[in-house]
Amino acid sequence: MLLKRIYKEAREGETPELDYVSLAHTGVSPEQNFSIKLVTEFLVAGIMEIVDDELFFHVHPEDLHYVIKRTPGRYCLHCGEKLSDDVSGQMARLHVAMKHAGVQSPSDNDPSGYVALNHFECVLNNKQHLKFGVKQAARVPQFPLKEM
């Protein structure tokens, strides 16, 4: 995904205020991960909304609609269950020991049998991905500007 933040003109010495976000393209895949920091910032600014398991991203020229597959937190790689969060991961290890003892982790990259996500895993609406996606990233992306 390639985005550009467009700011309102500010007087000298003032911090410019975000006006809107312009979308050049949604990338080569409909899957998108949004960091907790970005989602928090954009929720506060009114640029994103989350309703149930859907994320709406208000960009120009068109709002994007994502289905949230997984939210930040720990997940069991064996059964997919969202696990209790704690600082040390003790509850995740307990789940794996109780429910999947002796079974090798499905992921070689995560031998513990669980994963901790620091992002929202989302999938863009297929029609929108076909409309705004690219096969290869453009050399000089075009960010559409709103007419004043």
Q: Is residue 102 very low, low, confident or very high in pLDDT (cuts 50, 70, 90)?
A: very high
Burial (CB count <10 Å: 0-12, 13-18, 19+), residue 2: middle
Q: Are strands 18-25 and 2-7 parallel, antiparallel or unpaired?
A: antiparallel
Task: Please work out, in degrees rounded to the nearest 5, the angle formed at the alpha carbon of residue 67 by the alpha carbons of 116 and 4.
Answer: 85
Mean pLDDT for the stretch of residues 20-40? 95
Q: Residue 148: its pLDDT value, please?
A: 67
Q: What is the mean pLDDT of the chain?
A: 93
Q: Residue 147: its pLDDT value, please?
A: 81
In the chain, domain spans: 1-70+122-136, 73-117
- Distance of alpha carbon 49 from alpha carbon 55, whole angstroms: 6
Q: Is the pLDDT of residue 49 over 80?
A: yes
- pTM, to two decimals: 0.84
Specify whether the CB–CB gap between 121 and 68 falls below 8 A. yes
CA 82 from centroid of its chain's CA atoms: 17
Q: Is the pLDDT of residue 145 over 90?
A: no
- Distance of alpha carbon 57 from alpha carbon 106, whole angstroms: 33
Q: Is residue 87 very low, low, confident or very high in pLDDT (cuts 50, 70, 90)?
A: confident
